[in-house]
Amino acid sequence: MSDSQPRIAPVPLADRTDEQRALLTAVLGDRAPNLFTTVVRHPALYRAWLPFCMELLTNSVFPPRERELLIIRTAWLCGSTYELGHHRRLGADEGLTEHDLAAVTGEPSPAWTPRERLLIAAVDELHANHTILDATWHELSAQLTTEQLIELPMLVGHYILLAGTLSSLGVQLDSDRPGLTALSETAR
């Protein structure tokens, strides 16, 4: 895929239908990021997908710091510069330090808790094997709630799906969000 042009371009502001404008209201409306202004070209799918996406992002059963560790690790493993850029910023807002952010895109940090290292291992296994291996599951089961055990593979799977969608559609970085373009050099 060429990095210079999207395969499916976001809907320009002037070309958005009333339905598309209404659908984008929940995600910054006229300033909605390229992911949303591209996917909204398929209104029925967008309408079904957005509540799931927002549930994972805003009502996760994981504390925000852990949620962002899970998402950033997934974005890194998938080579999703777009998601990595957005979520590195969100992770910093949730207390992830530059050291944490550097570690989540490489080897786990010795400063992380055993639980955080275990969550990263689960992401790595889900990405590599599409399952959490028995030994890791056993450890997770001792530390996570039932809701967290269910949400973990769904959260990681959702961001794997987004990475594939973003890459396949050629969704470009959002030019009006400073700092994201520079991250393209740090993504795999």
Q: What pLDDT is stored for residue 1 in this prediction?
A: 47
**Amino acid type, 180:** L
Tens digits of per-residue pLDDT, 34-46?
999 999 999 999 9
Tens digits of per-residue pLDDT, 52-80?
999 999 999 999 999 999 999 999 999 99
Tens digits of per-residue pLDDT, 123-151?
999 999 999 999 999 999 999 999 999 99
Q: What pLDDT is stored for residue 180 in this prediction?
A: 39
Where helices occur in the chain by DSSP H, the ranges are 18-24, 34-39, 43-58, 64-78, 81-93, 98-104, 114-129, 134-143, 146-169
Write the DSSP assignment of 100-132 as a string of letters: HHHHHTSSPPTTS-HHHHHHHHHHHHHHHHSS-
pTM here is 0.90
Is residue 91 scored above 80 in pLDDT?
A: yes
Q: What pLDDT is stored for residue 110 in this prediction?
A: 77
The mean of the pLDDT values for the chain is 90
